[in-house]
């Protein structure tokens, strides 16, 4: 039987409106992911702003710098938000940062390497930082029985947001040409801003606030709370194991997302319109994957859903070594998008299932440390391996393009390695469900 809160979350008009508002945010921030990370700016930066194999390396460096910044600040901000019930405040501060600098990417042109990196890094810090607090609001719009389904729906609606934005952009690029590309960055900023507003107005924070002891301040309490969590982290053995697994397999996921457009352009010669179509396909199959794996997480477990999605992703990427044609690449992308979105949607569900209720946002901060550290290590590894192997093949007389293609195949191999190792560690994590939850307040909470 549902508790009064759970009944309210499931049935009231206010709760439904809050869930829908939460979904809309995913619609908006997925426009950023689709245009900036996947389809347009990453390829634009690599090919136009920088150029050649050096563009791949510099893109990995820019992504990594942003990741380090978010890894440092997100757990601290998560602790502050837990103490002050201010997840929404931080969500919109970071969203605003991302929106502003996404729009400013309009001014980046060929040769503006420093400007492009600085604007992108600030936009990325805003985007990734906001995700910590957006994900943490999941427990405010769901129940233990519905959390997987709601998370999956949010991810699916987010995929639709990416598709809509790309469809709006593709026709002008086709008719006008690549000179329209900078205008897609303004379009993305506007969509991101507009669709973030419903969350601000309609989602209410309902999770308990950590009280501030007498004589303490919000900041000091937050730092002490964070220090206690680090000190007692061994009490949360299941979460710690999961975080290690996530750290590794998320390396592979983030590497794939950050370099998908570059891989498509280099290995298969996709032009800008073809890249947009490719990412639209990924988003459509991703929406299906998020919904199906969300339901699988509720029916069985998040762990099982993540493992199945990673297996599909690993097989899909391995096929890149055997497929030459454009159609084959699009089919691989469809399966990769399906499984990748499923893994990401259920990964955030699993955190909420492993976290003590009063430390939910803080645990999402820890997840962000793992994830954002991954976003530094992964792109750095991919960029370094592909660039150095490119140089290796050039020194042995291979043509420039063939050398760059071979270098990226080595980079894809590093993605596969991270996915496989992370999945193997995930097997050791306890399977948590609504009927068999973690109970940290009991003596044998994790046994």
Tokens of residue 16, six digits: 């439904």
At residue 360, the pLDDT reads 66
Tokens of residue 428, six digits: 């050791």
How far is the C-alpha of 61 from the C-alpha of 46, rounded, in Å?
Answer: 12
How far is the C-alpha of 263 from the C-alpha of 161, rounded, in Å?
Answer: 23
**CA R_g for the chain:** 21
**Rounded (5°) CA angle 55-58-60:** 110
Region of 216 (left: φ > 0; alpha: ψ -120 to 50; beta: rest) is: beta
Give per-residue pLDDT as tens, 294-323. 888 878 788 899 999 999 999 999 999 998
User: Are the C-beta atoms of residues 366 and 29 closer than 8 Å to each other?
Assistant: no
At residue 361, the pLDDT reads 63
Of 404, 403, 406, 393, nearest to 55 by C-alpha is: 404
At residue 255, the pLDDT reads 85
214: CB partners within 8 A, 6+ apart: none
424: CB partners within 8 A, 6+ apart: none
DSSP of 296-330:
HHHHT-HHHHHHHHHHHHHHHHHGGGT--SHHHHH
pTM score: 0.76
User: Are the C-beta atoms of residues 166 and 283 closer than 8 Å to each other?
Assistant: yes
**Rounded (5°) CA angle 61-183-333:** 60
How far is the C-alpha of 370 from the C-alpha of 373, rounded, in Å?
Answer: 5
The CA-to-CA distance between both ends of the chain, in Å, stands at: 26
Count of all residues that appear for the chain in the document: 447
Of 391, 173, 375, 405, nearest to 268 by C-alpha is: 405
How far is the C-alpha of 186 from the C-alpha of 108, rounded, in Å?
Answer: 12
How far is the C-alpha of 144 from the C-alpha of 138, rounded, in Å?
Answer: 11
User: Are the C-beta atoms of residues 174 and 168 closer than 8 Å to each other?
Assistant: no
How far is the C-alpha of 240 from the C-alpha of 226, rounded, in Å?
Answer: 15
List Cα–Cα distances, 337 to 29, 132, 211, 280, 352, in angstroms.
17, 22, 42, 10, 24
Give per-residue pLDDT as tens, 165-202. 999 998 898 888 889 999 999 999 999 999 999 998 99
The SS3 assignment for 112 reads: coil
The pLDDT tens digits along the chain (447 residues) read 344 444 444 557 888 899 999 999 999 999 999 999 888 999 899 889 998 888 888 998 898 888 888 777 776 776 666 666 788 888 999 999 999 999 999 999 999 999 999 999 999 999 988 987 888 788 788 877 777 778 778 878 888 888 899 999 988 988 888 899 999 999 999 999 999 999 989 998 877 666 667 777 766 766 776 677 677 666 778 888 888 898 899 889 888 888 888 898 889 988 888 988 998 898 888 888 888 888 888 787 888 999 999 999 999 999 999 988 889 999 999 999 899 888 887 887 787 777 776 666 667 666 665 555 556 777 788 888 988 999 999 998 899 889 988 999 999 999 999 999 999 999 998 887 656 666 665 444 444
How far is the C-alpha of 54 from the C-alpha of 404, rounded, in Å?
Answer: 10
């Amino acid at each position: 039987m549902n508790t009064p809160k759970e009944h309210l979350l499931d049935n009231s008009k206010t709760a439904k409106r809050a869930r829908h508002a939460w979904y809309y945010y995913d619609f908006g921030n997925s426009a950023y992911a689709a245009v900036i990370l996947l389809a347009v700016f990453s390829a634009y930066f690599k090919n136009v702003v920088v150029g050649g194999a050096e563009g791949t390396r510099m893109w990995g460096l820019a992504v990594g710098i942003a990741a380090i910044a978010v890894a440092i600040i997100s757990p601290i901000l998560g602790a502050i938000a837990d103490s002050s019930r201010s997840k929404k405040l931080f969500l919109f501060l970071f969203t605003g940062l991302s929106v502003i600098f996404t729009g400013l990417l309009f001014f980046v042109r060929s040769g503006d390497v420093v400007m492009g990196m600085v604007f992108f890094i600030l936009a990325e810090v805003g985007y990734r930082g906001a995700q910590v607090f957006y994900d943490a609001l999941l427990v405010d719009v769901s129940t233990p029985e519905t959390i997987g389904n709601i998370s999956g729906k949010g991810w699916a609606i987010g995929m639709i947001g990416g598709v809509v934005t790309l469809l709006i952009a593709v026709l002008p690029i086709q008719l006008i040409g690549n000179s329209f590309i900078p205008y897609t960055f303004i379009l993305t900023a506007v969509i991101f801003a507009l669709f973030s507003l419903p969350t601000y107005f309609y989602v209410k924070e309902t999770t308990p606030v950590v009280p501030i002891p007498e004589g303490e301040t919000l900041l000091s309490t937050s730092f002490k709370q964070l220090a206690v969590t680090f000190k007692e982290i061994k009490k949360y053995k299941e979460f710690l194991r999961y975080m290690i697994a996530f750290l590794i397999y998320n390396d592979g996921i983030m590497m794939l997302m950050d370099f998908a457009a570059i891989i498509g352009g280099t290995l298969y010669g996709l032009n800008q319109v073809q890249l947009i179509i490719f990412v639209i396909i990924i988003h459509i199959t991703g929406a299906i994957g998020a919904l199906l794996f969300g339901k699988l997480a509720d029916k069985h477990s998040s762990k099982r859903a993540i493992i199945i999605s990673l297996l599909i992703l690993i097989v899909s990427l391995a096929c890149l070594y055997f497929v030459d044609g454009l159609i084959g690449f699009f089919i691989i992308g469809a399966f990769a998008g399906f499984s990748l979105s499923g893994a990401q949607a259920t990964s955030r569900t699993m955190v909420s299932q492993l976290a003590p209720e009063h430390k939910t946002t803080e645990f999402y901060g820890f997840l962000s440390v793992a994830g954002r550290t991954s976003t530094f290590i992964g792109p750095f590894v991919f960029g370094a391996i592909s660039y150095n192997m490119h140089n290796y093949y050039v020194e042995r007389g291979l043509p420039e393009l063939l050398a760059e293609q071979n270098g990226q195949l080595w980079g894809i191999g590093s993605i596969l390695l991270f996915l496989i190792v992370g999945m193997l560690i995930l097997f050791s994590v306890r399977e948590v469900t609504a009927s068999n939850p973690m109970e940290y307040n009991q003596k044998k909470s994790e046994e």
